[in-house]
Amino acid sequence: MKIQPNEVDRVLIFDTTLRDGEQSPGATLNVPEKITIAKQLARLGVDIIEAGFPFASPGDFEAVQKIAEQVGTPEGPVICGLARATRQDITTAAEALKPAAHPRIHTFIATSDIHLKYKLKKTRAEVLEIAGEMVALARSFTDDVEFSPEDAGRSDPEFLYEMLERAIAAGATTVNIPDTVGYITPSEFGDLIRGIKENVPNIDQAIISVHGHNDLGLAVANFLEAVKNGARQLECTINGIGERAGNAALEELVMALHVRRQYYNPFLGRPADSETPLTHIDSRQIYKTSRLVSNLTGMLVQPNKAIVGSNAFAHESGIHQDGVLKHRLTYEIMDAESIGLHENQIVLGKHSGRNAFRTRLRELGFELSEQDLNKAFIRFKELADKKKEISDWDLEAIVKDETQTQ
Ligand code: KIV
Ligand code: ZN
């Protein structure tokens, strides 16, 4: 799908699991694994796949090229390759992306004074010049060019406005605002995006994107504030994997926009009650994608991780279990089915009540009389005092014991 800045009616999802996500300590993927993930990302419905950093290694080059070939079909997502603002990086990325129907080159250079002084050892004027030249070079290979002023979150806003104006004038069609070190807070990020909209004269010729890290656990909150202020592309990863504390988690962003669409709709210029989804994502593919990425990268998902953690739809306390059994909306804000899970899981433990216990037994095929249920429930509570979670095996053993001792 080709993306035009003034035709965006949804929030675009740019997945960087295969690039920034793979920068997680300990997460390496081989080429076939990257292709498998890219195919699943396409099924999930992401708009752009950042498939890698082609100049970084021959393996990355090959992965980007193969993904461009196999996933970058005319109906498929945009395939993107990362490149520093250097001639070699950009020409290598262009080469790797050749097979894609919709290739994007994503080039970046730092703009914070800290990075200019200690890392690049360049002046502001020098990086402005380089960015303009390199965006124009990238644009000679493709009409879809993204530019990122690295460490934008700690850059002087006035300099940032100047840099973005220069990049757009040179041909950038997306300008991405990275909070590279996960430093900014939600209201500051919202103000920064609004400042960009108000102070970069040619901003209407580009899509505003955001990219953020989770060093303070704020990446998703920052992005939601950015959407309210005009950002229309979110750069994120599956399960939030990535450099240090990771990137903004795709599943959290998508479900926040989905569950709270009445709140976010007006920021996209729609009536609050519009049912048009805010993204192109098929949320029923979320759980499967999360499991695939976790299995292939070896990065485990914490049990209490929002949306995809094993406890995300589990109810342990008796009061909550009873409420959910009476009506799901009492303690649930979304259906497990909406992320591709078949049913909400009830974990039985010492706080579970009789109603939840009876329901689980029914699910296991046991219909007990009131008297048997009472006896079994007493046994269950005794066991739950010793064991944190009661498995279906335990329940079956209790029921068989009770029915045999009659
Ligand atoms: O965190 C960052 O700044 C990046 C850029 C390359 C966009 O990953
Ligand atoms: Zn990053």
202, 175 Cβ separation under 8 angstroms: no
**Is residue 20 annotated as involved in ligand binding?**
yes
Using CA positions, which residue lies closest to atom 1 of ligand 1? 180
Chain mean pLDDT for the chain: 93
Q: How far apart are CA 182 and CA 185, in angstroms?
A: 9
**Cβ atoms within 10 A of the Cβ of 179, count?**
28
Residue 135's nearest CA partner among 170, 169, 166 is 170
> pLDDT value at position 2?
67
**Cβ atoms within 10 A of the Cβ of 34, count?**
25
> pLDDT value at position 365?
64
**Is residue 344 annotated as involved in ligand binding?**
no
pTM comes to: 0.87
146, 173 Cβ separation under 8 angstroms: yes
Q: How far is the CA of 258 from the centre of ligand 1 (A)?
A: 26
Taking a 5 Å cut-off on Cβ, the residues next to ion ligand 2 are 20
Q: How far apart are CA 227 and CA 79, in angstroms?
A: 23
> pLDDT value at position 406?
46
Q: In which band, very low, low, confident or very high, does the pLDDT at 404 lie, cut at 50, 70 and 90?
A: low
Asked if pLDDT for residue 344 goes beyond 60, the answer is no
Q: Report the amino acid identity of residue 240.
A: G
In total, the chain counts a number of residues equal to: 406
Q: Which ligand is nearest to the CA of 85?
A: 1
- Give the atom of ligand 1 at the shortest distance from the alpha carbon of 108: 6
Per-residue pLDDT tens digits for 232-284: 999 999 999 999 999 999 999 999 999 999 999 999 999 999 999 999 999 99
Q: In which band, very low, low, confident or very high, does the pLDDT at 214 lie, cut at 50, 70 and 90?
A: very high
| pLDDT (mean) for 113-128 | 97
Contacts with 28 (C-beta within 8 Å, 6 or more apart), sequence order: 22, 297
Burial of 269 (0-12, 13-18, 19+ CB in 10 A): exposed
Q: Which residue has the higher pLDDT, 387 or 88?
A: 88
Q: Which ligand is nearest to the CA of 115?
A: 1
Q: In which band, very low, low, confident or very high, does the pLDDT at 402 lie, cut at 50, 70 and 90?
A: confident
252, 222 Cβ separation under 8 angstroms: no
Q: Which ligand is nearest to the CA of 210?
A: 1
Please report which residue ranges of 4-108 form alpha helices under DSSP H.
31-44, 58-70, 87-97
Mutate to test the pocket of ligand 1, among 90, 147, 150, 210 (most ligand atoms within 8 A of CB): 150
Q: How far is the CA of 179 from the centre of ligand 2 (A)?
A: 8
**Candidate from 125-139, 176-190, 330-344, 355-369 with smallest mean pLDDT:** 355-369
> pLDDT value at position 220?
98
Asked if pLDDT for residue 299 goes beyond 70, the answer is yes
ipTM for the whole predicted complex goes beyond 0.90: yes
> pLDDT value at position 343?
52
**Is residue 213 annotated as involved in ligand binding?**
yes
> pLDDT value at position 327?
87
Per-residue pLDDT tens digits for 5-58: 666 789 999 999 999 999 888 888 999 999 999 999 999 999 999 999 999 999
> pLDDT value at position 397?
81
Per-residue pLDDT tens digits for 55-77: 999 999 999 999 999 999 999 99
> pLDDT value at position 366?
75
Q: Which residue has the higher pLDDT, 328 or 173?
A: 173
107, 84 Cβ separation under 8 angstroms: yes
> pLDDT value at position 321?
87
> pLDDT value at position 6?
61
Protein residues with CB under 6 Å of any ligand 1 atom:
20, 108, 148, 150, 176, 178, 180, 211, 213
> pLDDT value at position 3?
72
Q: How far is the CA of 302 from the centre of ligand 1 (A)?
A: 25
Q: Which residue has the higher pLDDT, 322 or 272?
A: 272
263, 228 Cβ separation under 8 angstroms: no
